[in-house]
Structure 1
Amino acid sequence: MKKKIVYVPLDERPCNLDFPQEIFKFSDLDMVVPGPEILGVKKTPANHEALETFLIKETKGADGLVISVDMLIYGGIVPSRLHHLNQEELVKRLAFLEKIRFGNPNLVIYGFQLIMRCPQGNSSDEEPDYYKECGREIFLSGHYKNKKELGIITPDEEKQYSKLKIKKEFLSDFLTRRQINVSMNIMTLELLEKGVFDFLVIPQDDASEYGYTAIDQERVRDVIRAKRLMLKAYMYPGADEVGCILVTRMLNHFHGRKPAVYVRYPSPSTPFVIPCLEDRYVDVTIKYQIAAAGGITVPSLADADLVLLVFLGATKMLFHPNNVPSRDVDVLCNFSESVVFAQHAIAQGCPVGVADLVYLNGGSLDLINHLESAGLTMKVAAYSGWNTSSNSLGTTISQAMNYLYSGNTESHQAFLAKRYLEDAGYCGSVRAKVAERLKEYGMDYFNVKEKTGIASRMVFEELEKFAAEHLPSIYDSFEIDDVNLPWKRMFEVGFTVRKKDRK
C-alpha cells in the first residue's frame, strides 16, 4: 500500500517542485504538493495562509511530511533573502508545525532550512536591489571579517578590508536579515529537540570557506553540539537538491532499508577537491548526502547495493562548461576506466549512478561521449550534472536509490533522458548559444520577457540539434515538449520528455 507524503518545496522552480514528483512518480509514495496558487514566484512569496490551510488538510492521515522551513516562514528561497518580517511573526509561523505534529503524532516529519547565502558578485537578480551595486563588497566584508576573527588575515587582506566602502544602510539591512534568519535556524533546532521534527538538514546555500555563511555555520553548529543533535541535524553545502534527498530518506524509512553505496572516483586525489561555491572536500559532502538520504557508504562493490561514480577533476571543479581539453581531467583522471567499471557493475546486477561534477553549471560533453560509446547512457540508474556539485549529487543519489525499489520504469527513463538533455544539453551548451542571440530580440540573459515565446523556441530548436548530434540513443526514442523559462531568464529551464510514439 502506498504511503501518503506531503511535500512542501523550497520554491516553484522545476528543480524543487517537479524533480521529486518525476523521480518518485511510480514509487511506493503518493506525493501531494501545494498548487501554483499557493506557491510564490521568484521574489514574490508564497501565500502563507493558504499554505497553512493546505498543510492542515493534507497532513491529516498522511504518513510523512517533507517541508522546506524557508517556504513555510519566508515564502520561498528568494523571499528568505529579501523579507522584512519581524521575528515575532516568524516565530509564530514556525510554531505552526507544532500544531501539525499535535494533529498527527505518527506523522514522520523531515525538514530543511537554509543558512542564507552571501553571493560573491554584484547582482540583484535574486538579492536585494542594492546587491547590484555592492554585492562583491558585502561578500568581501564577511570574508575578511571571518579571517580576522580566526587570526589568519594577511597584511594585504587587512589593507583591502580597510578600503571597503559599503553604504551603512545597505550593510545594516543585509546583516539584520542574516541575524534574524540564523536565529530562526536555531529555533528550528529547538523544535527538532522537542520532537516536532524527526530529522533536519541545514544546507549552506552557495557556501564558501570563509565569510558570513561560515560565521553563521559556526553558530548553528555550536547549538547542534550543545543539544547533542549531531545524528538528527546534518549541515553541509546544498539547497535545491535537499527536497529530493529527504523524500528519498522517507522512501528508505518506509522500506526499513539503508542502501549501501560504493563511491568511486576517477583519480586518487578527486575526493579531496573542494567544488566551486562549497567549503569542504567533495567526499565529505557525498557521505553527508548519502546518510541524509538514509543510506550508508561501503568500501567495495561486493558490499554495495549501488555504485555512485563521481566524475570530477583531480584537483578542481572547472568553473564554466566550455568542454575544452584540461590536464586536470584528461591527464590526471581516468574516465575510461570508470566507465569500464560501470559496465562491469551493471553486468553484475549492481545499479550505477553517475554524478557529473566536472563543471559548475553544466554537464561534461566528454563524459556524455564516454557513456554513449559504451552504450550506457540509458542503462545507468541515474545521471545528473546541473548547477553545483551538491545539486547534482543529491539528484543522482535520489534517482539511484529510487531505482532500487522501482526499477527501469517509463518514468525513470523519461527523467534520466531529461537529465542528459537539460544538464549536458541545456546547461552545458544550449544556454550559452541562445544567450548570445538574445540581444537581437531586445532581451538579455536575465530578462527574456516571457516564459514561452522566442527564447523558449530557440532553446527547443538547439536542444533538438544537441540531442541529434550527441545523444542519439535519446534522440531516437524520446521527444521534448513544453519548453519554458520559468523565471523569464536563461539560468533555469523547464520541459517535458516522453517516449516517442512508434505507431
Structure 2
Amino acid sequence: MKIVYVPIDERPCNVDVVQRIVGVTDEVTLLTPPDHLYGYKKEAADQLGMREWVQRVNDCDALVLSADMLCYGGLLPSRLHHMTDTDRDTFIEWIRTLQSKTKAPLYVATMIMRTPKYSSDDEEPDYYGQFGAEIYRRAWLQDRDERDGLTMEEQDELANLNELIPTEYVVDYETRRAFNRSINEAMIQLVEEGVIERLFIPQDDSAEYGYTSIDQTDVLRQIQERRVFTNVHMYPGADEVGATMVARAFLDKRGTKPRVYPIWSSVLGPTLIPMYEDRPFIESMYAHLDAIGLHLVQTMEEADLVLAYNVPGRTMQESWDQDERDVTYTSFRHMRQFVTKIESALKQGKRVIVADSAYANGGDQELIMWLDELNVLEQLDSYKGWNTNGNTLGTTLAQGVFAQVGKRERIRKNVFYHVLDDFVYQAKVRMKMTDVVLPKYGANYFDLGRHAEAISQERNQMMTEVARHVIRHSFQEAWTVNTSAPWNRMFECRLEFGGTSQ
C-alpha cells in the first residue's frame, strides 16, 4: 500500500514519529514531501511547492493531507498569517481539482486554532508574549458569560481586561480565527460534496470555555447541518493526527476494524479531565477509537489489542513534577494491579499497547520501572507518553494498528525510542537541563542561541545516564543516543540512537 502523507509541520513528532510508526511493517510505503519544501517554525513552508508535489505523485492508495500545511504553510503559520478570501478560495478549488484527478481517497486534517492560557510568543503572534494570558481569560469569561453567566467579580475582571488589552490585538487575533474557522467550514462542505473522504478536526490545547470552545460549537453545528457526522472526527489533539489518519487510511484499505479492550490504572481516572483538554479521558478514548477505525469490546478474550491506559489517580501534574507528585498517584491508583494485568495479557498472547497519560508532557517513572522490573517492557507493541493525552493516545492506537503486521525487532526498537524520548528526555532530563545546563551557556528554554550543538551533547550524556539508571533489565545491548534541537529550543528533540540489533 502506498500512502502520500503531508504533515502539519516539519517537527519530528509529525514526520519522524509517523515514519517510525508505519516503518514497523513492509506493507506500507509512506511518501512525504522533500525537505526543501518545509518551512521552519514560524516561517511558512512552500505551500505552492507542496501542492505541486502532491499533484505529481501518481498511483497511490490514499492521500493523507494537512490543510494547515497546504493552506497556511504549517501549524504555527496558521496562527500568524494574513491571508485573504482569495487565498482561501484558491486553496479550496485546488482540493476539488486534486480529487477530480485521482482515484485515491482524501483524508484531511484541519485544526481548531488553539488559545494558550499563558503569555508566550514562542508559537503565537508577538503580542501574545505580553497579553496572551489576558486574551485567553477575556474570551473564557465572555464565553462563560453567554452560556452560564458571571459573578460580580468576574464581570469586573472582564471589564478590566477589555480596558487592558489593546483593541488592535484583539481585532488581529479574532480576524485570523474567523478566517481559520471559514477554512474549517469549507472542509466540512467538501466532505458533504464527497470531495474529502474523511475529515479530522483536532482541538489543540482545548478548554471548557473560550475561543476554542466557541469555534468547536460552530464546527459541530456545521457538521450536523450538513449531516456529515459519520465522516468528520473532532476531538482533543493535534500532533497525533498524522498517525491517526495514516492508520485510518490503512484500515479502510484493508477493510478491517481491530477490536480493542482497555484496562485502566485507576478507578476515577477515566472520569478525570486531563490537562490541556476539555473532556474526560474515557470520552477522548471513544473519539480516538472512532477516528482511527477501531472497535471497543467488553472482554480481553475477544480483543485484538489490549490498550493499557495509564491515567492519574485523582489529580494530574506535569511529568517533571514527579519527585513531588500528588499523593493520589498512589492512594487512588494501584500500579502493581495495573502492570499485573499487562503481564497477564501478554502471557495470554495478547498484543498490548501502553498509553502513558498519567502526567502531561512526559512518561510515568513508576510505570516504566514496574514494566522493566517485570521484564515486559520489550514485549509491548507500543509505549507512548508525550505532550498531551490526545497526542499520546492517538499515536498509541496508530502503533497498535501497524504493529499487527509489523516485524518484532522494529516494534521493540520503536518502544525503546519512545522510552528514551517520552520518558527519559521529556520527564526526567528536559527541566533538569533547563535549570542546570542552560544557564552555563546563557541560553533559555525557548532559544538555545548558538549553543544548540553543545547543549545537545550534554543532553546525550544526561539521557544515557538516566536511562541506564532507571532501566535495569530491558534493552541491555550496547546503544548510543544522539539528539538535536529542531526548533532550537528545549521543548522537543530529534532523537537517533544506534547500537541496537536490527
Matching residue of 1:212: 211
In the TM superposition, residue 472 of structure 1 has moved relative to its aligned partner by: 3.1
1:32 paired with 2:31, answer yes
Single out whichever of 456-465 and 477-486 deviates more from structure 2.
Answer: 477-486
Q: How does 1:239-318 map to 2 (within 5 A)?
A: 239-318=238-317
CA distance in 1, matches of 2:485, 2:470: 23
Aligned to 1:88: 86
> Which residue in 1 is equivalent to 2:123?
126
Q: Which moved more, 1:130-139 or 1:307-316?
A: 307-316
CA distance in 1 between counterparts of 2:451 and 2:63 reads 31
Q: Is the 8 A contact 1:27 1:402 kept in 2?
A: no
Q: Is the CA contact 1:21–1:31 (under 8 Å) kept in the aligned structure 2?
A: yes
Task: Say which of 144, 169, 182 aligns to 1:147.
Answer: 144
Q: Is the 8 A contact 1:119 1:206 kept in 2?
A: yes
Match of 2:13 in 1: 15
Asked whether the 8 Å contact 1:448–1:489 carries over to 2, the reply is yes
State the one-letter code of the partner of 2:225.
A
Shift of 1:144: 0.3
8 Å contact from structure 2 (residues 236, 278) kept in 1: yes
CA drift of 1:450 comes to 4.8
Q: Which moved more, 1:466-475 or 1:109-118?
A: 466-475
Q: Does 1:374 align with 2:374?
A: yes
Question: Is residue 373–residue 473 contact of structure 2 (8 Å, CA) maintained in 1?
Answer: no
**Which amino acid is 2:148 matched to?**
G
Tell whether 2:423 aligns with 1:424: yes
Q: Which shifted more, 160-169 or 479-488?
A: 479-488
Give, in angstroms, the shift of residue 407 of structure 1.
Answer: 4.4
1:478–1:65 distance in 2 versus 1, CA, 3 Å: farther
SS of 1:321 mapped into structure 2: helix
Instruction: Rate the CA distance shift 1:350–1:173 in 2: closer, same or farther, 3 A.
Output: same
CA contact (8 A) 1:414 1:497 kept: no
Question: Is it true that 1:229 corresponds to 2:228 in the alignment?
Answer: yes
Name the counterpart of 2:2: 4
Alignment counterpart, residue 74 of structure 2, candidates 53, 76, 79: 76
Secondary structure of 2:119's aligned partner:
coil
* Cα distance in 2 for residues equivalent to 1:501 and 1:72: 38
Moved over 4 A (4+): none
Of the structure 1 ranges 91-100 and 34-43, higher mean CA displacement relative to structure 2 is found in 91-100
Residues 165-196 of structure 1, C-alpha deviations (whole Å, 9 max, x = no match)? 10011111000000110111000111111111
The structural deviation recorded for 1:478 is: 5.5
Give yes or no for contact 2:380–2:412 (8 Å, CA) kept in 1.
no
Q: 1:476 to 1:212 in 2, by over 3 A?
A: same
The answer to whether the 8 A contact 1:415-1:497 is kept is no
CA shift at 1:245, angstroms? 0.8
Q: Which amino acid aligns with 2:158?
A: Y
Write the letter of the residue equivalent to 2:184. Answer: N
Cα distance, 1:473 vs structure 2: 4.1
1:199 positional shift:
0.6
- Give how far 1:474 is off: 4.8
- Give the count of matched residue pairs: 497
C-alpha change, 1:361 and 1:176, in structure 2 (3 Å) is same
Q: Tell me the TM-score normalised to structure 2 length.
A: 0.96
Could you tell me which residue of structure 2 aligns to residue 177 of structure 1? 176
Q: Which amino acid is 2:68 matched to? A: D
In 1, Cα distance between equivalents of 2:500 and 2:246: 29
Q: Is the alpha carbon distance of 1:432 and 1:144 closer, same or farther for their aligned partners in structure 2, counting shifts above 3 Å? A: same
Counterpart CA distance in 2 for 1:77 and 1:479 is 34
2:188, 2:223 within 8 Å by CA — same for their partners in 1? yes
| Structure-2 separation of matches of 1:144 and 1:363 | 33
CA contact 2:363–2:422 (8 Å) conserved in 1 = yes
Q: CA deviation at 1:475?
A: 5.2
Give CA deviations for 1:123-147 in whole Å, capped at 9, x if unaligned.
Answer: 0000000001100110011100100
| Corresponding position of 2:350 | 350
SS class of match (1:406): coil
> Which letter maps to 2:125?
P
CA contact (8 A) 1:8 1:66 kept: yes
CA distance in 1, matches of 2:171, 2:85: 16
| Distance of aligned partners of 1:19 and 1:178 in 2 relative to their CA distance in 1, 3 Å threshold | same
Q: Aligned-pair distance for 1:213?
A: 0.3
Please state whether the residue corresponding to 1:495 is helix, strand or coil: strand
Tell me by how many angstroms 1:337 deviates.
0.8
1:401 deviation in Å? 1.7
Q: Percent of pairs identical after alignment?
A: 33
Once residues 152 and 17 of structure 2 are traced to their aligned partners in structure 1, the CA distance between those partners, rounded to angstroms, is: 47
Post-superposition offset of 1:423: 0.8
Structure 2 unaligned residues grouped into runs of 5+: none
Instruction: Give the Å deviation of 1:66.
Output: 0.7
Q: Secondary structure at the match of 2:261?
A: strand
Counterpart selection for 2:154 from 157, 167, 188: 157
Report the 3-state secondary structure (helix = DSSP H, G, I; strand = E; otherwise coil) of the residue aligned with 2:423: helix
CA distance in 2, matches of 1:444, 1:329: 31
In structure 2, C-alpha distance between the alignment counterparts of 1:478 and 1:358, rounded to whole Å: 30
What letter is aligned with 2:142?
K
The answer to which of 461-470 and 396-405 deviates more is 396-405
RMSD between aligned residues: 1.4
Secondary structure of 1:188's partner?
helix
Match of 1:107 in 2: 104
How far apart, in 2, do the equivalents of 1:79 and 1:11 lie? 10
Equivalent positions of 1:460-479 (< 5 A) are 460-474=460-474, 476-477=476-477, 479=479
CA distance in 1, matches of 2:450, 2:349: 46
In the alignment, the residues of structure 2 paired with residue 330 and residue 109 of structure 1 have an alpha-carbon distance, to the nearest angstrom, of: 45
Structure 1 Cα separation of the partners of residues 267 and 396 of structure 2 = 21
- 8 Å CA contact 1:451–1:488 kept in 2: the answer is no
Which secondary structure does the structure 2 equivalent of 1:203 belong to? strand
Specify the code of the residue in structure 2 equivalent to 1:334: H
SS class of match (1:378): helix
Task: Give the equivalent residue in structure 1 for 2:59.
Answer: 61
- CA distance, structure 2, for counterparts of residue 253 and residue 67 of structure 1: 16
Which amino acid is 2:155 matched to?
E
Deviations 1:58-108 (A, max 9, x none): 1x211111111100100000000000111211221132111111111x202
For residues 41 and 423 of structure 2, the distance between their equivalents in structure 1, rounded to whole angstroms, comes to 25
Between the aligned partners of 1:178 and 1:490, the Cα distance in structure 2 is: 28
- Counterpart amino acid of residue 224 in structure 1: I
2:388, 2:501 → 1: CA distance? Answer: 35
Give distance in 1, aligned partners of 2:376 and 2:27.
27
- Would you say 1:42 and 2:41 are equivalent positions? yes
Distance 1:308 1:154 in 2: 43
